[in-house]
Structure 1
Amino acid sequence: MSQINTISSLLLAAVATPFAITAIAQETPVATELKPLEVSATRQGIAVDELAHAVTVIDREQLDSQFQTSRNLGEVLAKTVPGMAPASQTLTNFNQSLRGRNLLVLIDGVPQNTNRNISRDLMNIDPANIERIEVLRGASAVYGSGAAGGVVNIITRSNDAPNSTTLGLRSSLTKLDEDGLGYRAEQHLGGGNDSYDYGVNLAWERQGAFFDADGDRIAPEPSQGDLSDTDSLSLAGKLRWFLNGSTLTLSANHFDAEQDTDYASDPAVASLPAGSVKARPISGLKLERQSRTRNSAINLSWIANQTLLGSLDTQLYYRDYHARFSPADGRTWSTWGVLGQNFQDTETMGARVGLSTELSEASLVRWGVDVSREKSEAPIATYDGNAFDNSGGLVFINTGDRTFMPPITQDTVGTFVQLEHGFSDRLRGELGARYEYASAEFDDFTTLGQGNGIEGGEISFDDFLFNTGLVFDVTRTSELYANFSQGFELPDVGLQLRYAPSDFDITSSQLKPIKTDNYEIGTRSDWGRTQTSVAVFYSRSDLGQPTIKDFAFVQPRAKERIYGIEATLDYLISENWLLGGLVTWLEGERYDDDDQRWEALNGYRIPPVQARTYAEYTPNNHWFHRLQINYSGSRDDAFEDQVGFGSREVESYTTVDYHTRYQINQHKVSVGVENLLNENYFTVYGQLLRNNNNTSHIPASGITLMATYQYQW
């Protein structure tokens, strides 16, 4: 520990020295509320100050800064977006709700969610291919299914970004070991003229082992997968033609991340009391196919500012997706009965059309239609249980693939209309509706564990969603807004088919969609040097999420209510100093019909209090400095109510991140330190024990260094 303390002291001294904390530009969360911004996550560009919603926008400079102290997009969002649950530091965003509900992830408007929700939606794109991220917090009737908690719209890299070459190195500082080194390389090329432009992004990354605050190697997460010893490759391109007031864009994105590790999580710790010891890595893993995420998409869009019906925004897209998990020992589970490794393959084709038609100088109507077809299947690879047991959980001999989830085809059609009207220079309003129809069909199949013969069939859903909102300019620098919006979540048909009982009824209440009513009141202010925002929200639904207990469905789908408050503050002390932060508190409950009382939702749905504060210093045009403190509170509501899965007590923790960079001419050097004080802690996800034993009791990373060099040419 003496080596760790020495490194921490040196870094802290650098932070405290004025000569070491200079900056090149203001990279601040204040940009999340700047009025000139337009947000395309609302289907077409709307200025932030005209929105009756809370919204966060993270630009490219902020992303560059945050990725110096975060290993993936989930961590960046957790540190910058109010209402976002903390990240898991693994491959999954399973516990990363937005305002306690599921979020819809889009890349250039293309949905990344699948009906069989496997919670890897934030792992489908490399950071090098992101220009900015728009997060619409709260339900969106305009987008419909999947957006009950909000929308995360990822906009890919701009073609006019400077050509650049970037090299990066990451290392744990708690244990300086070759296995802990990570490497990264990026290349961006672009060009064009008045008729067209193009951009190409290539990125490769090798993530090494992760080490906790004690210098111990962190075991792989066996439930949802993790990022240690993972190679990723990203290739993306965009070609735009400018055609007489319209723009035609063809873009493609391919991202592939695959783990190749010699380590497994020791199954021996599962016999010890849950939470009493941390997960333990063991070497000698023999597994040919390890965790993987592959996402490929082609997107053709056309934007025309002037048509007979107004401005037009339309797109056609195709997406091919593959996800592979770590093997799980389900031999004692009646619904599995095997030592198996789950896969998912999904193909999606779709189209979106949006129009903005001016009715008068004060009135505008936005309307459009969305269609999609998704085909998914989930085979499972089975392995020899004796070889696994005799090797202590290290050797996996494939004994063939079987059906886990049958092929499912889901068709979805949605149409929406929204009227926006300016009642005066200070009061604006909106009123909208959406109709959504979805159908899913599958053939006869036999369940994996219990061998239940399930007859194929088809089920359909449809519903109307409504939204309304008002924005009032209290002063020239402050707005007050209020909105009501309904969210819509289609049932996870595939998950329920995996565990279908012998008397399975496709028309049962377990396959009813969840309709959510959301209410929000908020205010935004910009007084030049000070910017603030506050949002208070409440959401309710008559049907909650179906849950799994002991790998079987828990049948009741009770009423739910979630409520909370979010606040941000950014204060420019001088041209050199900027301070700010955010805080989120929320609570969620479900109604227990048996006990006739409200009980807490589990920790995967409702996070503890989250708070962030930062300080930036910018004395000249060459250096940049940022210090950020991240706090995650404690929560025992679910534990006290004993709600089952995800109900363990959660303890608080605080981490500190530090980032600095130096730029001169075309050269830029960045250094980031995550967990600067080497806090020894478990993330919320690690404390909740995803698979209910110590193999998922994953500690968080200790102090970690990231260094990057970029040349712009």
Structure 2
Amino acid sequence: MKQNKRLPSLLLVATITPLSVSAVAEEATLSQEMETVKITATRQGMEAKEIAHSVTVIDRQQIENQYQTTSNLGEVLAKTVPGMAPASKTLTNYNQSIRGRNLLVLIDGIPQNTNRNVSRDLMNIDVSNIEQIEVLRGGSAVYGSGAAGGVVNIVTRQNEHKATSKIGLKSALSELDSDGLGYRAEQYVGGGDSNFDYNLNLAWESTNSFFDADGDRIAPEPSQGDMSDTDSLSLAGKARWFTDKGTLSLSANHFDAEQDTNYASDPSVAALPAGSVKAQALPGLQLDKQNRTRNTLLNLAWDTDKTPLGSLDAQVYYRDYHARFTPFDGRAFGTWNSLAQSYLDSESIGSRLTFNTDLTKASRLRWGLDMNREKSEMPVTTFDGTAYDNSNGTIFADTGDEVFVPPITQDNIGGFAQLESNLTHDLRWETGARYEYVSASFNDFTTLGQGNQIQGGDISYDDFLFNTGLIYFVNDSTELYGSFSQGFELPDIGLRLRYATPGFNIAGSDLEPIKTDNYEIGLRNYWGDTQTSIAAFYSESDLGQTTIQNLSLALPRSEERIYGVELTVDHQLDDNWKLGGLLTWTEGERYDENDDRWKALNGYRIAPLQLHAYTEYSPNNQWFHRLQVNYSGARDDAFEDQIGFGSNEVDAYTTVDYSARYQVAAHTLSLGIENLFNEDYYTVYGQLLRNGNNQSHVTASGTTVKASYQYQW
């Protein structure tokens, strides 16, 4: 019989402790309360106080401050969002879950996830084109598929009547070398009048090599790819037409990041005991096409308050996406059986429709429809194994392309309705449902490794999702809430097809969707100069995610449960000083029927204890200083249970970041120092050894400095 030994103690804590979570505020004064912020990720703007679950909002100034001491968007979120796992410092967000489950990433409402999950959802936009990031934690029946852990909605740059130019320089300090220099330039232009406005935004960045605390060049990440020696280009624009009937907007965003490095990951370290030595950078790489991420979005939207059914938000969008990875030596594994480089091409078209219909003065119905069609394929480029071996893993001679995952067409249709009602002056209730229908089809293909002839087919799923929540306004500054919501996500169809065995039948292929039940209770407090919050959550699913063990598909998919606590606090000491931080503790387990007991989920799913604390000092309107401490704890649960992939012991580490800004008139100077004390460490991702050997034992960056100058015309 199953024994749940940890849950009762968690529920006891949840019963006796006031619980909640709020947005992490940085520079805005606490009088600008979080509850007045409009959250567009709710499908139409709602105030934070109207939402019966956890939400974090990061505004543009906060993003710019954090980016001074980080390398990408994933790191920004890891340091500001409770429940978010630590970043890998590479191209991937493979290990960056929310509350141990997958997240749905949206850019202006456009889904960035693909049916072949390649885990680069947070690498599809440049930070210069972000106005605000909204993170709703927990499953979402409003958005449906893919949002089991939460929703990250990225809102693109607003149209402003101004022009700004910005240049920046980045350098490693642990090894002063020209190879460690990086450069960045941005240009923003906006204008218009009461009838029409626009913006154009251009950003270019050249990132060179990274160096660790010992001054050694950090080896390329051989599994998911890294950002060293990468040039990126971002082109974005938005135009809006205003009429007495509503607003029409047309926006475009193109982001392209491509690596061109002379270094490979030395394969010789793979022969040594796993985790005993760090990955080594090896010069002489000859690879024609390297890691690349290219994302193009077109979005046409219309919003109006003048319909018989209430206010309306409608959009039609198009997305073209390409991701290319580092070559992988799979010759020793029958399911791969080649030296190959995979890449994904995906094309999507879709629409979203949302109405807000007022039923009474105290109640509103939020309802709508989503449709999306995605066509994707995942070929591989194969290489000459002899040339690779003779060059010690540096020469990749192209021998042609083969099918890895066949072309897949996937259609998603979802309809939802949510009733929101103020039952009394102090009590608000929301309840809703969503119907989700998903179909996928593919043609005949031959598997790459074993050459299995697989017959094409199609499969479909449908389900209803429900959510409900209550918010009790204790007083003007305190909100107590509790909620239940269901999440829905498909297992990775492409991953299942790539390991198809003879006689494979899509109808019985263990591709049943994951339906997650999420429970949360919390409390938000706005006490003058102090904001506090604490939340407890619990989620469970009868089926787990499709996973890989030793390059083989791990079946069956087991029952899972995940639970934890999140805490934030922000306090304005006086006009000059502010301090605060956040804490996240998460635990997750799956039920092993063979051993008849619960075992820990792996380290890619469940992060160690995360703690981020900061202090800010602004002596006047020109100067701003911020010191931030980042602590990631140890975790050995998966190691003790010997669950295989992702079960390495994880050691704790602490880093400190410092940033400053000086602004006078139209001029702004910014400085950021990441890893101020040159801590020698491995990220959680680097300790888990993604490819199973020391080539993935990648060190983290030593002390790194960023400086920038901005002029507003």
Shorter-chain TM-score: which interval? Answer: over 0.9
Describe the SS at the equivalent of 2:140. Answer: coil
Query: 1:250 matched to which residue of 2?
Result: 250
Query: 1:16 matched to which residue of 2?
Result: none
Note the C-alpha offset of 1:160: 1.1
- Could you give the per-residue CA deviations for residues 643-687 of structure 1, whole angstroms, max 9, x where no partner exists? 110000000000000000111000000000000011000000000
Note the C-alpha offset of 1:161: 6.2
Q: Distance in 1 between matches of 2:265 and 2:643?
A: 27
| Structure 1 residues 117-132: aligned runs within 5 Å | 117-132=117-132
- Does the alignment pair 1:359 with 2:384? no
Note the C-alpha offset of 1:30: 6.2
Query: 2:497 matched to which residue of 1?
Result: 497
Q: Distance in 2 between matches of 1:390 and 1:160?
A: 57
Following TM superposition, where does structure 1 have runs of at least 4 consecutive aligned residues deviating by more than 6 angstroms? 29-33
Counting aligned pairs with the same residue, the percent is 66
Q: Distance in 2 between matches of 1:491 and 1:35?
A: 36
The answer (yes or no) to whether the contact 1:402–1:448 under 8 Å persists in 2 is yes
Q: Distance in 2 between matches of 1:498 and 1:30?
A: 52
- Does the alignment pair 1:259 with 2:259? yes
Q: Distance in 2 between matches of 1:481 and 1:587?
A: 22
Query: Aligned letter for 2:440?
Result: A
Describe the SS at the equivalent of 1:536. Answer: strand
Query: Aligned letter for 2:211?
Result: F
Note the C-alpha offset of 1:243: 1.3
Q: Distance in 1 between matches of 2:546 and 2:325?
A: 22
Q: Note closer, same or farther for the CA distance 1:327–1:30 as it changes in structure 2 (3 Å cut).
A: farther
Note the C-alpha offset of 1:74: 0.2
The answer (yes or no) to whether the contact 2:377–2:406 under 8 Å persists in 1 is yes
Note the C-alpha offset of 1:410: 0.3
Query: 1:371 matched to which residue of 2?
Result: 371
Q: Note closer, same or farther for the CA distance 1:155–1:301 as it changes in structure 2 (3 Å cut).
A: same
| Structure 1 residues 36-55: aligned runs within 5 Å | 36-55=36-55
Q: Note closer, same or farther for the CA distance 1:31–1:433 as it changes in structure 2 (3 Å cut).
A: farther
Query: Aligned letter for 1:639?
Result: F
Note the C-alpha offset of 1:26: 6.0
Note the C-alpha offset of 1:425: 1.1
Q: Distance in 1 between matches of 2:33 and 2:92?
A: 29
Query: Aligned letter for 1:207?
Result: T
Describe the SS at the equivalent of 1:389. Answer: helix
The answer (yes or no) to whether the contact 1:479–1:525 under 8 Å persists in 2 is yes
Query: 1:271 matched to which residue of 2?
Result: 271
Query: 2:617 matched to which residue of 1?
Result: 617
Query: 1:285 matched to which residue of 2?
Result: 285
Query: Aligned letter for 2:515?
Result: K
Query: 1:4 matched to which residue of 2?
Result: none
Query: Aligned letter for 1:149?
Result: G
| Structure 1 residues 438-457: aligned runs within 5 Å | 438-457=438-457
Query: Aligned letter for 1:506?
Result: I
Query: 2:710 matched to which residue of 1?
Result: 710
More off after superposition, 454-463 vs 242-251: 242-251
The answer (yes or no) to whether the contact 1:611–1:630 under 8 Å persists in 2 is yes
- Could you give the per-residue CA deviations for residues 91-119 of structure 1, whole angstroms, max 9, x where no partner exists? 00000000000000000000000011000
Query: Aligned letter for 1:91?
Result: L
Q: Distance in 1 between matches of 2:29 and 2:226?
A: 29
Note the C-alpha offset of 1:369: 0.3
Q: Distance in 1 between matches of 2:305 and 2:177?
A: 56
Q: Distance in 2 between matches of 1:628 and 1:505?
A: 53
- Does the alignment pair 1:296 with 2:296? yes
Q: Note closer, same or farther for the CA distance 1:504–1:28 as it changes in structure 2 (3 Å cut).
A: farther
Describe the SS at the equivalent of 1:510. Answer: coil
Query: 1:100 matched to which residue of 2?
Result: 100
Describe the SS at the equivalent of 2:603. Answer: coil
Query: Aligned letter for 2:315?
Result: Q
Query: 2:21 matched to which residue of 1?
Result: none
The answer (yes or no) to whether the contact 1:304–1:313 under 8 Å persists in 2 is yes
Query: 2:575 matched to which residue of 1?
Result: 575
Query: Aligned letter for 1:384?
Result: D
- Could you give the per-residue CA deviations for residues 315-352 of structure 1, whole angstroms, max 9, x where no partner exists? 00000000000000011110111100001000000000
- Does the alignment pair 1:687 with 2:703? no
Note the C-alpha offset of 1:526: 0.2
- Does the alignment pair 1:159 with 2:152? no
The answer (yes or no) to whether the contact 2:31–2:529 under 8 Å persists in 1 is no
- Could you give the per-residue CA deviations for residues 29-87 of structure 1, whole angstroms, max 9, x where no partner exists? 96996111010111111100111010000000101100000000000000000000000
The answer (yes or no) to whether the contact 1:29–1:58 under 8 Å persists in 2 is no
More off after superposition, 157-166 vs 628-637: 157-166
Query: Aligned letter for 1:411?
Result: D
Query: 2:540 matched to which residue of 1?
Result: 540
Q: Distance in 1 between matches of 2:500 and 2:646?
A: 23
Query: 1:81 matched to which residue of 2?
Result: 81
- Does the alignment pair 1:347 with 2:347? yes
Q: Distance in 2 between matches of 1:280 and 1:561?
A: 38
Compute the TM-score of the two structures, normalised by the length of structure 1. Answer: 0.96
Query: 1:3 matched to which residue of 2?
Result: none
Note the C-alpha offset of 1:306: 2.3
The answer (yes or no) to whether the contact 1:683–1:700 under 8 Å persists in 2 is yes
- Does the alignment pair 1:34 with 2:34? yes
Q: Distance in 2 between matches of 1:125 and 1:632?
A: 27
Note the C-alpha offset of 1:426: 0.7
Note the C-alpha offset of 1:162: 3.4
Query: 1:13 matched to which residue of 2?
Result: none
Query: 1:658 matched to which residue of 2?
Result: 658
Query: Aligned letter for 1:393?
Result: G
| Structure 1 residues 542-561: aligned runs within 5 Å | 542-561=542-561
- Does the alignment pair 1:696 with 2:693? no
Q: Distance in 2 between matches of 1:228 and 1:614?
A: 29
Query: 1:15 matched to which residue of 2?
Result: none
Note the C-alpha offset of 1:503: 2.4
Please tell me the root mean square deviation across aligned C-alpha atoms, in Å. Answer: 1.1
